[in-house]
Amino acid sequence: MTLPINQIINKDWIEAAKELPDQSVHCIITSPPYWGQRNYGVEGQLGLEATPELHIEKLVAGFRELRRVLRDDGTLWVNYGDKYAGSGGENDNFSKGIKKGTVNSQNTNLDSGNLLGLAWRLALALQADGWILRSDIIWAKGLSFCDSYSGSVMPESVNGWRWERCRVKVKELRKRTGGKIAENQDRNDADGGRIGNQAWNEYKDCPGCPKCEKNGGYVFRKGSWRPTKGHEYLFMFAKKQGYYCDMEAVREPQTSDPNKIKPAKGVKNVCDETTGKMMRFKPQEIFFNPSGRNLRDVWVINPQVWSRAHYATFPEKLVEPIIKVSTSQKGVCPKCGSQWCRVVDVYQQKLTGSTGKTKVPNANNWEEINNRTNRVSTTLGWRPTCGCQSEISYLKSLEPIPAVVYDPFMGSGTVAAVAAKLGRNYCGSELSKDYLDNQANIRIAEAETGVTMEEIEAGQGALFE
Ligand SMILES: C[S@@+](CC[C@H](N)C(=O)[O-])C[C@H]1O[C@@H](n2cnc3c(N)ncnc32)[C@H](O)[C@@H]1O
Ligand SMILES: [Zn+2]
Ligand SMILES: [Zn+2]
């Protein structure tokens, strides 16, 4: 058994995993088909199980096989969305072409409209199966109460309680005039937000009916409002304690200037970044790292649609930080696969003014009085984390090779493309030959060459002009 580096296996994810060697990949990043959401049109596809329980059981079994393939110091990242009982998938066309008696979002024993909590059911099931659940990252697509950004989400039809003008279908009128009727006009009663302008135009104010006459032309509707879904989960799992992670690779800019932070009164509980322990600090001792702060667990990323895919794919921005933090930029030992690690210098730096020079202490400035210092971490270089080099010292050096990122549900190949862009190797599986040939492979070629298919096609057109 060898790992087919930089290839996507055109097989069922479990069948593919069974053929892979133990401990051969450094990290797994994936978005499995959600339950009852989409019909990928391939025999053996996941997501069409009769109940959510069966679906999660299958996922757990597959990830168990992949746990064998993942290195002991590797991590697994699973993106998963949620669903409401009684809601159809894919614009209600979901059941077309699917065998009777398979998936049905009514198969839940829950009242319609109930949030199924599938993402958390999956996370807890994986935890029960032995994975260490390390983080429940919120992939925020839409935000509220944020002045500078609102994001973009799938439109949903939600409504509250309201009195509405009574309207009647133009159908009745059209029938008489012999005109055509819009297909979706029957939906009007269910929900106002769902129908397009065309359908609205198919309704006219009611001239008076038993429903509205006594209410001055209005009817009372009870919508079961809830906020529009603006997030999905990204769960981070470890196989064992002591997994590889490179926090320096994903630091983000500090949002406030340490020279401007005012001290809170009294003593504060602060998490020490190095030890992870909560420590009690006097305000003036709170450290500030100009190299950036640690990544948070709410990631605001707009969904990204790749032009050739006809369904939601991973945004590349979601995959980038995962690859950066879970695989070494420098690479891995070619002999044993251990990831190289940064040599980091952590030192205390005196606070300086905007000129970069050390400030003369100012009696009116609290931080200078307290002679506060910053903790700065800088990368000096990289070192292997195994002893292979010394064992075979007769060789000049064991040059590192790229780490391997695996995605069992490659789809349009986002994980592979981002891995290629970041200089990592990839591997994975995808059941649909169509997606593989017409999406993933094209996308990877684009990532590897830096030239898009559109540019190539445009270029070829120019040749024959
Ligand atoms: C949510 S999509 C993944 C999208 C991917 N993250 C991207 O960015 O394009 C799930 C993929 O799983 C594939 N799939 C469904 N059942 C499968 C199975 N049993 N084995 C392997 N792949 C499967 C589907 O064809 C689909 O491409
Ligand atoms: Zn009426
Ligand atoms: Zn080694």
- Per residue in 164-223, pLDDT (tens digit) is 999 988 765 555 455 544 444 443 433 343 344 444 457 888 889 999 999 999 999 999
Q: Is ligand 1 within 6 A of the CB of residue 46?
A: yes
| 44 touches ligand 1 (CB under 6 Å) | yes
How much distance in Å is there from the Cα of 178 to the middle of ligand 2? 23
Residue to mutate (ligand 1; options 12, 38, 412, 431; most atoms within 8 A of CB): 431
Distance CA 285, CA 267 (A): 10
Which residues, listed in sequence order, are joined to residue 313 by a DSSP beta bridge?
Answer: 304
Res. 356 pLDDT band, cuts 50 70 90: very low
Percent share of the chain, pLDDT over 90 = 52
Encoded tokens for 247: 């926090």
Q: Find out whether the beta carbon of 430 lies less than 6 Å from any atom of ligand 1.
A: yes
pLDDT at 365 over 70: no
Instruction: Pinpoint the alpha helices (H) of 89-247.
Output: 118-128, 170-177, 197-201
Q: Which of 58-72, 237-251, 272-286, 313-327 has the lowest mean pLDDT?
A: 272-286
Helix or strand run (H / E) with residue 169: strand 167-169
Q: Is 306 helix (H, G, I), strand (E, B) or coil?
A: coil
Ligand 1, atom 15: closest residue by C-alpha: 45
Sheet containing 298-300: order of strands? 7-9, 425-429, 404-407, 25-30, 70-80, 231-238, 132-140, 298-300
| Alpha helices, DSSP H, located in 189-237 | 197-201
Ligand nearest to the CA of 334: 3
Question: Residue 418, SS3?
Answer: helix
Mutate to test the pocket of ligand 1, among 409, 433, 442 (most ligand atoms within 8 A of CB): 409
Is residue 35 predicted with pLDDT exceeding 70? yes
Task: Please name the helix (run of DSSP H) or strand (run of DSSP E) that holds residue 388, with its range, or none.
Answer: helix 388-391
Residue entry with tokens 């190289």: 340
pLDDT score of 369 more than 90: no
State the Cα–Cα distance between residues 345 and 248, nearest whole angstrom.
11
Q: What is the pLDDT of residue 97?
A: 45
pLDDT band at 272 (very low <50, low <70, confident <90, very high): low
Does residue 103 or residue 300 have the better pLDDT? 300
* Radius of gyration over every alpha carbon of the chain, rounded to an integer in angstroms: 28
Residues with CB under 5 A from ligand 2 (ion): 166, 206, 209, 211-212
Q: Is the pLDDT of residue 377 over 60?
A: yes
262 pLDDT band, cuts 50/70/90, is low
Token couple for 88? 């159809």
Q: What is the pLDDT of residue 197?
A: 44
CATH 3.40.50.150 fits 7-150+229-251+297-338+386-459, yes or no: yes
pLDDT band at 287 (very low <50, low <70, confident <90, very high): low
What CA–CA distance (Å, rounded) separates 452 from 336? 36
Q: Looking at residues 269-288, what average pLDDT do you find?
A: 55
Mean pLDDT of 278-287: 51
| Residue minimizing CA distance to atom 3 of ligand 1 | 411
Question: Burial, 171: exposed, middle or buried (Cβ in 10 Å; 0-12, 13-18, 19+)?
Answer: middle
Backbone angles phi, psi at 25, to 5 degrees: -120, 150
How far is Cα 315 from Cα 417, in angstroms, rounded to an integer?
Answer: 11
Judge if the beta carbon of residue 79 lies within 6 A of ligand 1: no
* Residue 336 CA to its chain's centroid (Å): 30
316, pLDDT greater than 60: yes
**N-to-C CA span, the chain:** 50
Q: What pTM did the predictor assign?
A: 0.82
| pLDDT for residue 398 | 87
Point out the least confidently predicted range of 6-10, 104-108, 336-340, 441-445: 104-108
Q: What is the pLDDT of residue 323?
A: 98
User: Which pLDDT belongs to residue 149?
Assistant: 85
Q: Give CATH 3.40.50.150 domain extents, the chain.
A: 7-150+229-251+297-338+386-459
Question: How many angstroms is it from 173 CA to the middle of ligand 2?
Answer: 15
Which pLDDT score is estimated for 171? Answer: 64
pLDDT at 243: 98
If you measure from the C-alpha of residue 165 to the centroid of ligand 2, how many angstroms do you get, rounded to a whole number?
A: 8
List the residue whose alpha carbon is closest to atom 27 of ligand 1. Answer: 411
Identity of residue 81: G
The answer to whether 30 touches 78, Cβ cutoff 8 Å, is yes
Of the listed ranges 105-109, 378-382, 389-393, 397-401, the least confidently predicted one is 105-109
Q: What is the pLDDT of residue 332?
A: 97
Residue 47 alpha carbon to ligand 1 centre in Å? 10
Distance CA 27, CA 234 (A): 14
Candidate of 29, 45, 304, 407 to mutate for ligand 1, largest count of ligand atoms within 8 Å of Cβ: 45
Ligand 1 atom closest to the CA of 412, numbered from 1: 9
Please give the Cα distance from 25 to 2 (Å, whole number).
11
Q: Of 107-121, 256-270, 428-442, where does mean pLDDT reach its minimum?
A: 256-270
pLDDT of residue 86: 83
The average confidence (pLDDT) of the chain is 81
Atom of ligand 1 lying closest to residue 413 CA = 9
How many CB atoms are closer than 10 A to CB 243?
21
